[in-house]
């Protein structure tokens, strides 16, 4: 079982096809159709994001436990995700990486080229100066 702690809430996901949210007041199961692989909490918007073997990412209201959006677009399990502001990056069993605006549910890009399922993703935003520094260090540019 995977779990994450955010203030007074523990969110766990596992083989039971559901996400369990625990707090001092509320215990509400949030369900996918198949095993849930990972959850994230977006603290500024009070949303919970979860991905699953059912090929979807679901967005839940943290207070009510209601599913408010389902992101569909992968053809295989959604194994992992990385979240930064409104950008969500997902890795899938269909050998692709998805780049989403999770606030609108729009799949912005599908990145192909992996020869096996994607099991780790990390979104790192770079400013132009950071990108130049990175390229300079990689290619010894002065």
**7-11 contacts, C-beta under 8 A, 24 or more apart:** 7/43, 9/41, 9/62, 11/39, 11/41, 11/48
User: Greater confidence, 2 or 122?
Assistant: 122
Distance CA(139)–CA(29), nearest Å, equals: 50
pLDDT for 20: 52
pLDDT for 90: 93
pLDDT for 55: 92
Percent of the chain with pLDDT over 70: 66
pLDDT tens-place string over residues 3-46: 333 334 444 545 555 555 544 333 344 565 555 656 667 667 78
Give me the mean pLDDT over the 106-128 stretch: 87
- Evaluate whether 125 touches 104 at the Cβ level (below 8 Å): no
Q: pTM, whole model, 2 decimals?
A: 0.68
- Evaluate whether 39 touches 11 at the Cβ level (below 8 Å): yes
Give me the mean pLDDT over the 101-123 stretch: 91
């Amino acid at each position: 079982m995977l779990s994450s702690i955010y203030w007074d809430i523990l969110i766990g996901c596992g083989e039971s096809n559901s996400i369990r949210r625990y707090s001092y007041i509320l215990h509400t199961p949030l369900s996918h159709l198949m095993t849930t692989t990972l959850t994230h909490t977006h603290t500024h918007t009070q949303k919970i994001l979860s991905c699953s073997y059912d090929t979807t990412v679901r967005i839940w209201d943290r207070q009510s436990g209601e599913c408010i959006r389902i992101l569909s677009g992968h053809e295989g399990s959604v194994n992992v995700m990385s979240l930064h502001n409104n950008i969500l990056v997902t890795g899938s069993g269909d050998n692709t990486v998805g780049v989403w605006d999770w606030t609108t549910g729009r799949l912005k890009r599908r990145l192909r080229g992996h020869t096996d399922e994607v099991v780790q993703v990390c979104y790192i935003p770079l400013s132009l100066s950071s990108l130049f520094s990175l390229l300079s260090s990689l290619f010894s540019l002065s």
